[in-house]
């Protein structure tokens, strides 16, 4: 478990199920989402994993996913740090809208750009692009998470599709063009082992 970093996107949320843009809105997990979180925890148990510290966003779907995983791991009392830096990207005026309805209003291509491009934010005063999201995720990773990993303490992070995409982008050294096609599925652990120079030694996607 030396220099181990595990990233997990929260299980399916109520708004994932309804096909709504979520962002900083705070719906909870669905029954399927609960199952995904528990399955992720069981998959980590099967790998013999235990953790020294956990990080999560302030949003309930990520926090509850972490709680369920830790229950399966037998680590309910694990030290956990919550921070808005790990929150999902803010979808601005799109938050709460049905994605299919948005496509009918603005067109398939425009909605795809808002969802997947690197530096084009969705409409609205607080809308964040992936680049904007990374601007808060990367410093938190560099200053808080990475030093803990480099101390040899196994770390688990429960967060969101886009906050994790921004993190995977730098871990996997992906270009802004390549990141547009990356999708991180709900409840699937990504296990990174880091070298002594902080680069990635290996990456394992735990399917179950």
- Residue extents of the structural domains in the chain: 4-205
Backbone angles phi, psi at 5, to 5 degrees: -125, 120
Burial of 52 (0-12, 13-18, 19+ CB in 10 A): middle
Low-confidence spans in the chain with pLDDT less than 50: none
CA distance 55 to 126: 24
- At residue 13, the pLDDT reads 97
pTM: 0.96
Query: Mean pLDDT over all residues of the chain?
Result: 96
Among residues 36, 88, 128, 160, the one annotated as catalytic is 88
Q: Is 160 among the residues known to form the active site?
A: no
Beta partners for residue 128, in sequence order: none
- At residue 1, the pLDDT reads 62
Q: pLDDT tens, 168-180?
A: 999 999 999 999 9
C-alpha triplet 162, 164, 169: angle, nearest 5° = 95
Q: Is 84 among the residues known to form the active site?
A: no
- At residue 208, the pLDDT reads 80
If we measure between CA atoms, which residue out of 186, 191, 185, 187 comes closest to residue 205? 191
Overall CATH class of domain 4-205: alpha beta
Among residues 10, 36, 128, 160, the one annotated as catalytic is 10
């Amino acid at each position: 478990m030396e220099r181990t970093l595990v990233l997990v996107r929260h299980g399916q949320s109520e708004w994932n199920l309804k096909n709504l843009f979520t962002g900083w809105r705070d719906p909870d997990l669905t029954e399927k989402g609960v199952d995904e979180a528990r399955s992720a925890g069981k998959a980590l148990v099967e790998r013999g994993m235990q953790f020294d510290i956990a990080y999560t966003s302030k949003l309930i779907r990520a926090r509850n996913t972490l709680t369920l995983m830790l229950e399966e791991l037998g680590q309910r009392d694990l030290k956990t740090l919550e921070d808005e830096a790990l929150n999902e990207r803010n979808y601005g005026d799109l938050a709460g809208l049905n994605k299919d309805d948005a496509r009918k209003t603005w067109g398939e291509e425009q909605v795809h750009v808002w969802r997947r491009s690197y530096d084009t934010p969705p409409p609205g005063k607080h809308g964040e692009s992936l680049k904007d999201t990374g601007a808060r995720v990367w410093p938190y990773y560099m200053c808080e998470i990475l030093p803990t990993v480099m101390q040899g303490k196994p770390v688990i992070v429960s967060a969101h599709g886009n906050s994790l995409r921004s993190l995977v982008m730098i871990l996997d050294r992906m270009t802004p063009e390549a990141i547009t096609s990356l999708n991180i599925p709900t409840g699937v652990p990504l296990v990174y082992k880091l070298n002594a120079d902080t680069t990635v030694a290996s990456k394992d996607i735990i399917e179950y």
